[in-house]
Structures are given as structure tokens and as C-alpha cells.
């Protein structure tokens, strides 16, 4: 059975071999990727689209506005409405189904 120090030496030797193999293979892999991107007319965004939070400020996709929610409840006295989201208004009371908009 190998000792701890022998195993550490083997580990270091394997890590060095791994790094060398990677360094030798990476250029050919990058070349294959570039060739396929050219053949299929792909852009970097096609392969790895940007995540929402990485979008630059002022980009056209970030300016998309959401449509306002339609109201679900209406107070007949004041005409106030509530969409059902957020804090429930006091005028709904304990039986909000009375104020549902048909």
C-alpha cells in the first residue's frame, strides 16, 4: 500500500499531466468551435445568451413595459379599484366577494 506522501506525489504528477493535455487540446477544440460557428452562422449570443441581470442599461429588451393588470374589485361608492395584487384595501372589508367586477 502506498504512503500518503507517495499518493500526493502521484496526484501532483497527474495534475501536471492533466494541465499539459488540456493545454495541447484547447487550441484544436477552439478551432472546431469557430469552424462550426462559421458553418452555421452562429454568434456568441446564440451559444451563450446574456442573462437578464447582465444586460447593459438602456438596451431595447430592458425597456419592455408590462401591461397594467385589470381590476378585479370595484368600490361602488368611491369608484376605486383593486387588481387583487398587493395589500388589500380597507374598503373591501371581510367579504371582498361583494366587490368583484363581473
Q: How confident is the model at residue 23 (pLDDT cuts 50, 70, 90)?
A: very high
Q: Closest Cα to residue 101, out of 77, 61, 71?
A: 71
Q: What is the pTM of this model?
A: 0.43
**Are 88 and 97 contacting, i.e. CB atoms less than 8 angstroms apart?**
no
User: What does the pLDDT read at residue 35?
Assistant: 96
User: What does the pLDDT read at residue 59?
Assistant: 58
Q: How confident is the model at residue 39 (pLDDT cuts 50, 70, 90)?
A: very high
Amino acid at each position: 500500500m502506498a504512503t500518503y506522501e507517495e499518493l500526493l506525489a502521484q496526484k501532483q504528477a497527474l495534475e501536471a499531466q492533466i494541465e499539459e493535455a488540456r493545454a495541447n487540446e484547447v487550441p484544436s477544440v477552439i478551432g472546431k468551435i469557430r469552424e462550426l460557428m462559421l458553418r452555421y452562422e452562429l454568434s456568441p449570443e446564440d451559444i451563450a445568451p446574456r442573462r437578464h441581470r447582465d444586460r447593459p442599461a438602456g438596451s431595447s429588451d430592458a425597456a419592455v413595459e408590462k401591461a397594467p393588470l385589470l381590476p378585479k374589485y370595484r368600490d361602488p361608492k368611491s369608484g376605486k379599484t383593486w387588481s387583487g395584487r398587493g395589500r388589500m384595501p380597507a374598503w373591501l372589508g371581510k367579504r371582498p366577494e361583494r366587490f368583484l367586477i363581473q
